[in-house]
Every structure is written in C-alpha cells, then in structure tokens.
C-alpha cells in the first residue's frame, strides 16, 4: 500500500513501507533535466547536481561524504533529460541522518565561486571521458540528429563551451525557476515509522517557497530522420539508428517493450542471435525504447569492424523487414512477457529500486502503478497490439541514424 501526501506548498511525498528489510531509501526528485535548458546553458542541470555535493552552510564537501560513510550508507545523484534525483540508502535506524544530509544539500548549498570553477574541471573531464567512449557517445549524436531542433536532443553533460560560460548567478536563477515546490517529489521506501517520516519531511520541506512563478515552457520535439557521421579513427564503427516511439502514457508503450525484447532487447533476441551468434559480426548489438512525457524513440546499437558496417546495417534492415512481413510467434510473445515480468519483479527487490520506481512515476506521470498493475499491463499485450506497433514504428523511410568511425555508410542517406 502506497502512502501519498501533498504538503501545503505542493511538494508531494510518496512512500512504501517494507517491514521485513533493514534499510530505507529516500530520494528528492526534481522535474528538471537537460530538456529544460537552451543552447547557451546546456549542461546546467547536471552541473547543479554536482554542485549540491560541494558544500553547504553547515557542512563541507568532505563532511557531507563523511557523515554518510560513517553510517555505511550510500549517497548519490543523477540527471536525466527530464528529471534530477538526489538520493540516499541507509540502515532504517539512520533515516533522520539521511534526510538531514539531503535537505541540507537541497536548501543550503553555497555554490562558492571557487568550488564552481573546480567542479567545471571535473565535469570537463567527464565530458572528455565520454568523448573517448564512442559506444556511449554515438547514442548522444543520434539523439542530437533526430531531435536537432529541440533541447531533448542536447547532451545531458553539456559542452565545453556552455559549461565554461556558466556563472554563479545563472545557477541561482535556474534553481529559482525550476526547483519549485510543485516540481519536487520526496520518495521513501523501506522500514520506517510512517508518522515520524511524514512529520520530519513536513518539518523540513514545508518551508520551501519560490519567488519566481513564471511557467517554464517545454516544446514537444519533432522526430527528424537524419543520418549523421562523426569521422573518428576507431577500431570499431559504432552505429545507432532508430525510429519514433511512444510517450510514457501511451497505451502502446508496453507492447513496444514486449516487441523490443523479441527484436533486440535480450540475448535470445533476433538481432543478437543473427548478428552476434550466427554471423559473429559484433560483440555488442541491442535495441531499447526510451519514453518521455510527450514523445519516445526506439534505438538500435551495434559495434563492428568498419569494413562490416554496411553488412550489419543490411542485416538489421533485413530483420526489420522480416518482422514486418511475418510478425512474431505466440511462443515469442509469451516468452517475452514472462522475461519482462521477471526482470521487473527482480528489480523491485531493493528499496532503492522501488524508491526510483515510485518517485519517477509520481514525478512524470502524477500516478503510481503498483507491481500488480504493471504485471497486468504486460499480460494484457496482445498479438494485435504487437502488429500495430510493428507497422507504426518500423518505417525504414523515417529512420534516423548516427555513426562514429572512419567510414561512412553507403546505404544510409
């Protein structure tokens, strides 16, 4: 049974009690990510995530880390395209410490000029590391290509140019405009006392106010089937291609998950078996759907020898045409649904996994789906749903692509 509570200032609390564990996970979710940015401040959401660990009015960066280390807990954060999350996992007896640390970071970070300049160096190294990982970078280039006219296509880390231009006043203004109470969800999962947790969160977060009420507008991206090649002298050619998918709330989101599992989302998938196991052309080949509040995408990745690039593209297109012509079998449908259900349930066996699930769901969908509801949605996928998704998504004429490597493709235009 989920606990849902809204404070007077519109901050939402979602929680789930699990009495048989000895841990508690707490996350502060903020509905802001790289798609809230523009070309001049790209990367600021991620940079703020870093800066909240760099010292508050009450603690130095070392004291923040040390306080959690002393109790054997975990403290971390991440930034995505649509949200930022700061979270901790501790023993259930240390909930108050975790809440104190997270709220101190959230409300009292100093953003000192000295720390800002130092942390820019750290993030620039992170960008450099990413640039040296073409198997990761190609996904960003693909997103930048197909969503080239929208912030959703911009990299979460930002660029060297935009990062260096960020000033302290930009950070403060961005927080004031986006870290507003209605954009915040507090998610708690584990062994805790309900009344104590709610009263403590209310005590700490009910004071959160904002002076800037102007609504930040988010434009819906338009998927544009563009092919982009980044020439680089790599040992492998890295390919990412894909199609327009579905938004989070779309009724075909789960059918696409089931289809993807069959097509390229697992070791038993058609792409993996054909390209890696049968042909031996790639070590890594897979597909995955990404869903956002108002749009989605289906991406396919493969890494291969540069001279095998066009051959692998031909095999991927061949598998797409095969599934469009003949669909899938009842056995594949059943096995895929069972596999997805198994992976989903196993992922909920940790308090942090459940905290992520209910926090993100409440933040982006204003609703929490119970595990029972999720299982029912997966079980409800029919062959008609799969066939509809196949026809809707797999359109070769509207396929975008990105490649990193020494050679261009002669097939892609």
- Enumerate residues 6+ apart whose C-beta is below 8 A from 291: 245, 246, 247, 248, 250, 253
The Cβ of residue 340 has, within 10 Å, a number of other Cβ atoms equal to 21
CA distance 329 to 402: 31
CA distance 325 to 313: 18
CA distance 127 to 121: 10
Record the tokens describing residue 138, joined without a space.
């190609």
Task: List phi, psi (to 5°) of 122.
Answer: -65, -45
Record the tokens describing residue 153, joined without a space.
């296509």
In the β-sheet with 84-91, what is the strand arrangement from edge to edge?
Answer: 2-6, 12-17, 184-190, 23-30, 84-91, 74-79
Burial 49-80 (b: 16+ CB within 10 A, else e): bbbbbbbbeebeeeebeebbeeeebebebebb
The Cβ of residue 413 has, within 10 Å, a number of other Cβ atoms equal to 8
Cα 404 from chain centroid (whole Å): 23
Q: Are 102 and 86 in contact (CB under 8 A)?
A: yes
The strand pairing partners of 320, in sequence order, are none
SS3 366: coil
Active site residues: 49
Return the closest-CA partner of residue 29 out of 363, 316, 338, 308: 363
Cα 402 from chain centroid (whole Å): 20
Place of tokens 């890494």: 303
Q: Among the residues of 274-400, which ranges form H helices?
A: 309-326, 330-347, 351-365, 371-379, 383-393
The strand pairing partners of 402, in sequence order, are 228, 240
């Amino acid at each position: 049974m989920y606990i849902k509570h809204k404070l007077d200032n519109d901050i939402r609390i979602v929680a789930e009690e699990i009495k048989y564990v000895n841990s508690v996970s707490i996350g502060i979710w903020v509905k802001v990510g790289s798609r809230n940015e523009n070309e001049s401040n790209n990367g600021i959401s991620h940079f703020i995530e870093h800066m909240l660990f760099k010292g508050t009015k009450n603690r130095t960066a070392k004291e923040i880390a040390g306080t959690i280390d002393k109790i054997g807990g975990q403290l971390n954060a991440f930034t995505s395209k649509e949200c930022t999350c700061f979270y901790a996992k501790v023993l259930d007896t240390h909930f108050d410490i975790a809440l104190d640390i997270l709220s101190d970071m959230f409300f009292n970070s100093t953003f000192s000029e000295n720390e800002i300049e130092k942390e820019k160096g750290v993030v620039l190294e992170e960008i450099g590391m990413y640039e040296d990982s073409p198997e990761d970078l190609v996904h960003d280039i693909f997103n930048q290509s197909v969503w080239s006219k929208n912030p959703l296509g911009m990299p979460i880390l930002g660029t060297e140019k935009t990062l260096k231009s960020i000033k302290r006043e930009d950070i403060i203004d961005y927080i004031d405009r986006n870290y507003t109470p209605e954009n915040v969800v507090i998610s708690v999962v584990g062994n805790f006392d309900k009344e104590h947790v709610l009263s403590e969160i209310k005590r700490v977060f009910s004071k959160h106010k904002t002076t800037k009420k102007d609504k930040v507008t988010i434009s819906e991206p338009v998927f544009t089937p563009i092919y982009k090649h980044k020439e680089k002298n790599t040992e492998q050619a890295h390919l990412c291609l894909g199609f327009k998918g579905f938004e989070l709330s779309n009724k075909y989101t789960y059918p696409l998950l089931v289809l993807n599992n069959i097509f390229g989302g697992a070791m038993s998938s058609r792409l993996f078996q054909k390209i890696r196991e049968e042909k031996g052309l790639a070590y890594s080949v897979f597909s995955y759907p990404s869903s956002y509040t108002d749009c989605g995408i289906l991406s396919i990745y493969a890494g291969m020898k540069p001279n095998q690039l066009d051959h692998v593209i031909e095999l991927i297109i061949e598998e797409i045409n095969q599934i469009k012509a003949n669909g899938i079998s009842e056995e594949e449908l059943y096995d895929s649904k069972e596999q997805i259900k198994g992976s989903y349930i196993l992922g909920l066996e940790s308090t942090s996994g459940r905290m992520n699930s209910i926090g993100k769901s409440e933040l982006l969908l204003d609703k929490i789906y119970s595990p029972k509801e999720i299982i029912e949605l997966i079980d409800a996928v029919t062959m008609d749903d799969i066939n509809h998704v196949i026809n809707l998504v797999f359109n070769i004429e509207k396929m975008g692509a990105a490649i990193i490597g020494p050679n261009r493709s002669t097939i892609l235009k």
